[in-house]
């Protein structure tokens, strides 16, 4: 069928028009597409092709003509309009919540404004009955308390501030991964921590009912775990959830007690990981305690299946890999450099090294009980572990999950340092983060290999789901093709790196 549209007094130069028709011709089901000014010559041409051109169309008028099967002609016209309009920079915009809500209902407000403005918008959203996911940080604690209290009183979720990931009703928010549906419900105060647990659960063949984020400060005494307790009660009531996992860094003792006591009241099995906590934390509680993110995931799956799934390196495998790597190093190579982008991953790594690498001082940009603060965060010293997503770095450059340049530059410098033997990296995938988190690293790694050969060890883990747009299996295989050891989890990365650090220390 043939279709024709005349646009009066619309001038488009002939070169542009060529590209307009060319693109439309590539549309499926299109036999022909013409975009021409209606000069006498073009009119004749169109007539010969069987188009009927309006008699009063003239040289100042633009003619779009298309021929195709079914709705092919209509689609070709659409494609031509689209090409003609590609220079348009404006579309229908909403400036206020009320304006958007007047046109259609919404359930969640996702807020990532600068902290000073985020609170006001969140309160507006809550007042209009929306749940809030707030990625923003730098929101005052009093404001967080006010928002969470209001939300809890009104049966709404206030996820955040400083909430990195969530998955609600199958919709992945923030910097999270798209997780398969399943029986494990998660309440997470630490973004990358909750995501790691969820992704490992998924890799073990299970799925996630809901992943409720609370924001990093929910267990601070000022907030008192409002969102975490609200979250676990919601999961208790949710029919799909069979096991609940709580994920956080260790916090104030009183709040930990309160949260654990709240978990006691639930009928469902609860697995909890509070990074930095010890056995004593869980003593006297019914909660299934875990001490690493992967352990929490494994125990959650075990709670579902009645037996623990196999995961990560066996001791033999670990020994074999370590022995192979140790043969590569020259005399001057002694040190580890951990270049993390996930805050919880850094913490989990540090906890592991502190426990398993006795007598090895660790330097970091962070101020923690596990590390010595670097004099200059730009210059690594001996064994250094960096959180490149921490505020001292992100104040100067975008967070590395969005924009890898900062971490790539740092990797280049570490690989140029002849005292470095091992570098660890974590990668995070998901629809909200960089579309190719590893691509630019591969070139840098190849460049270093060209200079130093295969004399150093790169260890990486990819926190992501097979449903993420980045294609996680290919991300892993591209890293492996570049000679990177890709582990099953952040914890496994730390295991292998710790094994190498210890061996290097003992090598005289």
Alpha-carbon distance of 317 to 326, in angstroms, equals 14
Task: DSSP for 439-489, please give it.
Answer: HHHHHHHHHHHHHH-S-SEEEEEEE--TTSTT-HHHHHHHHHHTTPEEESS
Alpha-carbon distance of 112 to 216, in angstroms, equals 15
Strands 30-37 and 62-68: antiparallel
Give the shortest CB-433-to-another protein separation in angstroms: 8
Residue 209 or 371 with smaller CB distance to another protein = 209
Is there a contact between 422 and 349 (Cβ–Cβ < 8 Å)?
no
Strands 269-275 and 243-249: parallel
Is there a contact between 178 and 431 (Cβ–Cβ < 8 Å)?
yes
Phi then psi for residue 273, to 5 deg, are -125, 120
Task: Name residues whose C-beta falls within 8 Å of residue 346's C-beta, 6 or more positions apart in sequence.
Answer: 338, 340, 364, 366, 385, 386, 387, 390
Compute CA 340 distance to the chain's CA centroid, rounded to the nearest angstrom: 14
Residue 378 or 403 with smaller CB distance to another protein = 403
Task: Name residues whose C-beta falls within 8 Å of residue 166's C-beta, 6 or more positions apart in sequence.
Answer: 133, 159, 172, 173, 174, 176, 211, 212, 213
Provide the β-strand partners of residue 64.
5, 35
Which residues sit at the interface with another protein, rule CB under 8 A?
8-13, 16, 60, 84-90, 93-102, 104-114, 117-118, 121, 125, 130-131, 135-136, 155-157, 168-174, 178, 209-210, 212, 234-235, 237-241, 402, 430-432, 469
Residue 277 or 430 with smaller CB distance to another protein = 430
Residue 209 or 292 with smaller CB distance to another protein = 209
User: How many beta carbons lie within 10 A of that of residue 45, not counting itself?
Assistant: 15
Give the shortest CB-122-to-another protein separation in angstroms: 9
Record the tokens describing residue 146, joined without a space: 């006010």
CA triple 177-412-430, angle to 5 deg = 5
Please, is 441 exposed, middle or buried when counting C-beta atoms within 10 Å of its C-beta (0-12, 13-18, 19+)? buried
Strands 131-134 and 158-159: parallel
DSSP H/E element including 260: helix 253-264
Give the shortest CB-350-to-another protein separation in angstroms: 29
Provide the β-strand partners of residue 171.
168
Give the shortest CB-360-to-another protein separation in angstroms: 39
3-state class (DSSP) for residue 37: strand
């Amino acid at each position: 069928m043939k279709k024709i549209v005349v646009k009066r007094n619309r001038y488009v130069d002939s070169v542009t028009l060529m590209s307009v028709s060319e693109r439309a011709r590539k549309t499926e089901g299109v036999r022909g597409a013409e975009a021409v000014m209606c000069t006498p010559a073009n009119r004749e041409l169109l007539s010969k092709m069987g188009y009927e051109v309006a008699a009063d169309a003239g040289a100042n008028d633009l003619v779009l003509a298309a021929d195709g099967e079914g709705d092919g002609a209509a689609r070709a016209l659409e494609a031509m309009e689209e090409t003609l309009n590609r220079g348009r920079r404006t579309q229908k915009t909403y400036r206020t919540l009320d304006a958007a809500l007047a046109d259609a209902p919404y359930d969640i407000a996702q807020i990532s404004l600068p902290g000073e403005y985020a609170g006001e918008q969140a309160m507006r959203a809550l007042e209009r009955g929306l749940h809030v996911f707030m990625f923003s940080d730098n929101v005052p604690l009093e404001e967080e308390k006010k928002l969470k209290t209001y939300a809890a009183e009104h049966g709404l979720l206030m996820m955040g501030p400083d909430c990195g990931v969530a998955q609600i009703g199958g919709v992945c928010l923030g910097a999270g991964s798209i997780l398969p549906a399943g029986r494990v419900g998660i309440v997470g105060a630490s973004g990358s921590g909750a995501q790691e647990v969820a992704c490992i659960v998924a890799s073990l063949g299970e799925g996630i009912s809901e992943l409720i984020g609370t924001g990093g400060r929910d267990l601070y005494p000022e907030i008192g775990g409002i969102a975490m307790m609200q979250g676990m009660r919601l999961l208790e009531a949710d029919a799909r959830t069979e096991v609940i996992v709580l994920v956080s860094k260790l916090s104030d003792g009183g709040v930990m007690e309160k949260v654990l006591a709240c978990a006691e009241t639930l009928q469902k099995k609860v697995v909890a990981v509070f990074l930095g906590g010890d056995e004593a934390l869980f003593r006297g509680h019914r909660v299934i305690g875990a001490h690493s993110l992967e352990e929490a995931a494994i125990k959650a799956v075990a709670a579902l299946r009645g037996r623990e799934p196999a995961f990560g390196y066996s001791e033999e495998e670990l020994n074999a890999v370590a022995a192979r790597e140790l043969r590569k190093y020259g005399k001057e190579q002694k040190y580890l450099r951990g270049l993390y982008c996930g805050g919880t991953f850094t913490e989990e790594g540090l906890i592991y090294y502190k426990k398993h690498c006795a007598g090895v001082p660790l330097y970091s940009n962070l101020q923690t009980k596990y590390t010595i603060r670097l004099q200059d965060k730009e210059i690594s010293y001996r064994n250094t572990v960096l959180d490149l997503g921490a505020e001292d770095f992100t104040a100067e450059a975008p967070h590395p999950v969005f924009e890898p340049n900062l971490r790539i530059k740092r990797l280049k410098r570490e690989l140029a340092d002849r005292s470095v033997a091992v570098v660890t990296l974590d990668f995070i995938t998901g629809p909200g983060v960089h579309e190719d988190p590893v691509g630019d690293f591969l070139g840098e790694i190849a460049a270093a290999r060209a200079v130093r050969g295969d004399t150093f060890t790169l260890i990486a883990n990819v926190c992501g789901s097979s449903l993420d747009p980045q294609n996680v299996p290919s991300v892993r295989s591209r890293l492996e093709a570049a000679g990177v050891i890709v582990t099953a989890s952040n914890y496994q990365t730390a295991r292998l790196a710790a094994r190498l650090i210890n061996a290097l220390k003992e090598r005289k």
